[in-house]
Structure 1
């Protein structure tokens, strides 16, 4: 569904992406995982169309999207800080993009999204009255009403913890399956990437270190960086990885 071919990007004299190749199947969740400065957020912004690439091609459903502007791609993003309008309540934030746009969801579809994300009790609340998890769900609903071809999530769980974090994780997976929605997630957290995704793209210094299923990455890391990065971030012994990510083998 989405194919990236030899994506390259420099900022001044620094190479940020150096020949990224990637194919993402329709309806799947793919996480882009890597340390700070690895190039994952830059790649997300290139897919969105927010910043130009220096070289390479982007194809969507076999159509060349390389020079198609962001507003015409039909991709949509939930930013890390949610970017909600503080002067509008939760419901008005959700429907903001729907005004005078018949390409977006119907009233029944809107109600279904609100119900799925369990936002009904919170629709009249001001943004400042919402918890972090509720803000995340409002931002997700506001994006879903636009019927995105691809859903992009920038560090969606970074501001959350505990039960709220696990709840949002399950909601994202539920939404993806329910709407057969291709979803790309940027994260620096191996646990998030390995437990949420069908495939994980690990980027280091602008290069693809490995692209595979969580099981493949856990069982057969392709280089020492991957193994050390995952172990260091999780702060556990290698023997315990299989216990923590048992669901990857279901």
Structure 2
């Protein structure tokens, strides 16, 4: 469904992305994982269309969209800080993107989305009255209301913790199943990447270190960087990694 071919990007002569090649199937969740400065956010912005690449191509449903504007790609993003309008209540934030597209979603679809994300009791609250998890769900609802072809998430759990974090994690996974929505997540957290995604893209210094299922990443690391990065992130002994996600995972 989405293919990145030979993506290269430089800033001020410095190589940020070096010949990135991956394929993402319809409905998959893919996590981009790597240390700060590895290039993962730049790659997300190139997919979205707000950053240009120096060379390479982006193929979506067999069509080259490399030169297509962000607006016309039909992808959408939920930013790390939610980017909600503080002067509007939750409901007005959710429907904000529908101002010029009133027929894009039916009333029944919108109500179903609000119910799915359990936002009905919070619709008329101002943003400052919402918890972090509620803000994240409002941001997700606003993005899903305009029916994106691909959902992009930039560090969606970084401001959350505990039960709220786990709840949003499950909601994101449920969204992809319910709406058959291809989802790309940027995260710096290895456990998030491994427990949320169908595939994990590990980037180091602008290069693909490994791209595969969480099981492949854990059991068959392609190089020392992948193995050491995962071990360091999870902060547990190697022998215990294989049982981290339970019997269903291994």
TM-score relative to the length of structure 2: 0.98
User: Does the alignment pair 1:198 with 2:198?
Assistant: yes
SS of the aligned residue for 2:186 comes to strand
SS in 1 for 2:67: coil
Q: Is the 8 A contact 1:31 1:187 kept in 2?
A: yes
Q: Deviations over 1:133-166 (max 9, x none)?
A: 0000000000000100000000000000000000
1:82 maps to which residue?
A: 82
Q: Which residue of 2 aligns with 1:207?
A: 207
Matched with 2:69 is 69
Cα displacement (A) at 1:240? 1.3
**Which ranges of 4 or more aligned residues in structure 1 deviate by more than 3 Å?**
none
Could you tell me which runs of 5 or more consecutive residues in structure 2 were left unpaired when the two chains were aligned. Answer: none
- Length, aligned pairs only: 250
Partner of 2:189: 189
**CA–CA distance in 1 between the matches of 2:136 and 2:85?**
13
Q: 1:247 to 1:47 in 2, by over 3 A?
A: farther
- Distance between the aligned counterparts of 2:101 and 2:22, measured in 1? 33
Partners of 1:137 and 1:100 in 2: CA distance: 23
Any conservation in 2 of the 1:84–1:127 contact (CA below 8 Å)? yes
Deviation at 1:49, TM superposition (A): 0.2
Mapped partners of 2:24, 2:15: distance in 1 = 24
The RMSD of aligned alpha carbons is 1.0
Aligned to 2:94: 94
- 1:24-35 alignment, distance < 5 Å: 24-35=24-35
Distance 1:65 1:40 in 2: 20
Unaligned runs of 5+ in 1: none
Q: Alignment partner of 1:172: what SS?
A: helix
